[in-house]
Structure 1
Amino acid sequence: MPDFLKPMSGLGVTFSSMFSPTITEQYPEQKTPTAPRYHGRHQLNRHPDGLEKCIGCELCAWACPADAIYVEGADNTDEERYSPGERYGRVYQINYLRCIGCGLCIEACPTRALTMTNDYELADDNRADLIYEKDRLLAPLPPGTPPPPHDMAPGSTEENYYRGEVSKEGRLVGRSDS
């Protein structure tokens, strides 16, 4: 093949692909659903009566290989009770600039307080907004429940909470194991 025809063979690839149909995703307008176990944004869960599941043990922060989680625990008092245990997570931060989405923090949580949602839109134009504080991580309160701090269900222990024996009205209910 003569040297002057070599650029034409390259343009042949361009012309052949120019008339083939294009595949375009309409992302912002049409969002495709994620897989059920997708690792997206973290969420701090609550018990049915609104108390937090996080006990401030810091195991999630120790398990994080990217050092993206900061937890500072504090003691519950009789006047201010945020979780059914002795402690609660007073300060809870996840730095999404560092998070790699591995899920090791979820596996380390002994109370299932930390889970990952399917929310994947974590882009921002401000670096400070990608450090999520506890107020942005907490799950919404169930309808009709008072926000913490409040007392545990009358006659209950923290074991009743972890077994799922407390209703959203804040009453102790028996669990049916049949």
Structure 2
Amino acid sequence: MATIIVQRPKLAWHERWFISTLAKGLKITLGHALKTFREITGGKAKVTMEYPEEKWDSNLPSYYRGAPALVTDEHDRERCVSCQLCEFICPPKAIKIIPSEIPSDDPWAKVEKRPKEFDIDMIRCIYCGMCEEVCPEQAIFLRKDYAITGESRAEMVHDKKKLYEIGGKRVGLVNKWNELK
């Protein structure tokens, strides 16, 4: 079998030093920069947001899913019945619930359970919203919060007290406190 020798084309000096390619790239970059500068000076919206000074709060869409929190009803009673559906459905397993029983002398003993411990690891949470969708008592909601910080991993695990503190109250029918059930 014969060997075929392919002759490479001779490159000009600017092609060998990639000057023409560099010039094409600079042309595209400068074109985008000038276009952006014209938009900014022409009164259109800014491209960059100065994060610590400016926040996205006013620009968040209605469907934005932020960090989960527990809510109470209008009488400051906890809505969670420790059914553990949110714990079972959570894809990254960020939720941990330890249920406890309600004493029989309590007027709401018919509910049977409440959470003794309810922890959400915000480092593991992916803000998917499945916990909110599966909750039968509407006890967990995703709030419009995107700046969750902590100095250690322990600070990023929100316990029941912290979750109720940041969740607030939610008004509406709760099956747990329904007299007819």
1:160 aligns with 2:175: no
The answer to whether the aligner puts 1:88 opposite 2:114 as a matched pair is yes
TM-score, length-scaled by structure 2: 0.68
**Given the superposition, is the C-alpha separation of residues 140 and 12 from structure 1 closer, same or farther in structure 2, using an over 3 Å criterion?**
closer
Q: Is the 8 A contact 1:51 1:82 kept in 2?
A: no
* Rg larger in structure: 2
Aligned residues: 148
Question: For the residues of structure 2 that align with 1:17 and 1:110, how far apart are their CA atoms?
Answer: 51
Aligned to 2:7: none
| Cα gap change, 1:19 to 1:50, in 2 (>3 Å) | same
Structure 1 match to 2:154: 128
CA-to-aligned-CA distance 1:9-39 (integer Å, 9 cap, x gap): 3333444445452722122222223122321
Change (3 A) 1:101 1:129: same
C-alpha distance in 1 between matches for 2:109 and 2:12? 80
Structure 1 residue 12 and structure 2 residue 27: aligned?
A: yes
CA contact (8 A) 1:51 1:84 kept: no
Of all paired residues, the percent bearing the same amino acid is 26
Higher helix residue share? 2
RMSD across aligned positions (CA): 2.9
Distance 1:81 1:25, change over 3 A: farther
Separation in 2 of the partners of 1:72 and 1:3? 73
Deviates more, 1:93-102 or 1:7-16: 7-16
Other structure's SS at 2:114 match: strand
CA shift, 1:108, in A, is 1.5
Q: For structure 1, list consecutive stretches of 5 or more residues without a partner in the other structure.
A: 143-156, 163-178
Distance 1:62 1:40, change over 3 A: same
In 2: Cα distance, 1:161 partner to 1:39 partner? 33
CA contact (8 A) 1:69 1:95 kept: yes
CA distance in 1 between counterparts of 2:102 and 2:66 reads 30
Contact 1:72-1:91 within 8 A present in 2 as well: yes
Structure 2 stretches lacking a partner, 5+ long: 1-10, 41-46, 171-175
State the 1:60 CA deviation: 0.7
Match of residue 97, structure 1, among 123, 132, 157: 123
Q: CA 1:2 to 1:19, structure 2 compared with 1: closer, same or farther past 3 Å?
A: farther
C-alpha contact (below 8 Å) 2:68/2:127 kept by paired residues: no
Partners of 1:16 and 1:107 lie apart in 2 by: 47
Say which is worse superposed, 79-88 or 17-26, in terms of deviation: 79-88
Q: TM-score, normalised by structure 1?
A: 0.69
CA distance in 2, matches of 1:120, 1:101: 10
Secondary structure class of the residue paired with 1:160 = coil
